[in-house]
Structure 1
């Protein structure tokens, strides 16, 4: 799985995971087990990341999305039932 990206001032990173197991998924929704799999999506602001996450979880009910700021600090976890702030 790729390392956490370096983010600029307002940027955030989105990470997808299987809601039942918590296993991180790559951009193709495959379990991330190899170091070259892309697992993060970078957004210039949190609003774009939330919109993208909502699109994912509305289509795929078994996926949750985490949104993180620099140094991998969790801001939000979104799933089919909740949006949890950190």
Structure 2
């Protein structure tokens, strides 16, 4: 799997996963099994990442999105069940 990105100031990284298995997905929603698959999308701020996660989940109900800070610690996990909270 791709190495966690180096984030600058307010940047965050979005990671997609299959909601049923927790398996990480690449940008094309394919199970990430090799190090050359891109699994992180970097955003300049958390609000942009939340908007993107909402669009992904609205289109694909079986996906969950994690938004990570620089630590990398999950700041938010968005799913079809809690998307309305953000």
The answer, yes or no, to whether TM exceeds 0.5 is: yes
Q: Report TM bin, short chain.
A: over 0.9
Query: Structure 1 unaligned runs (5+)?
Result: none
Question: Which has the larger share of strand?
Answer: 1
Task: Work out the CA distance in 2 between the residues paired with 1:32 and 1:74.
Answer: 19
Task: Work out the CA distance in 1 between the residues paired with 2:44 and 2:80.
Answer: 24
Partner of residue 22, structure 2: 22
* Deviation at residue 71 of structure 1 after TM alignment: 2.1
Partner of residue 74, structure 1: 74
> In structure 1, the residue corresponding to 2:77 is in which secondary structure?
strand
Query: Structure 2 unaligned runs (5+)?
Result: none
Q: Which runs of 4+ in 1 moved over 3 A?
A: none
CA RMSD of aligned residues (A): 0.7
Of residues 7-16 and 74-83 in structure 1, the stretch that sits farther from structure 2 once superposed is 74-83
TM-score of the aligned structures, taking structure 2 as reference length: 0.94
Task: Work out the CA distance in 1 between the residues paired with 2:69 and 2:22.
Answer: 19
Q: How do residues 7-86 of structure 1 correspond to structure 2 at under 5 angstroms?
A: 7-83=7-83
Count of residue correspondences: 83
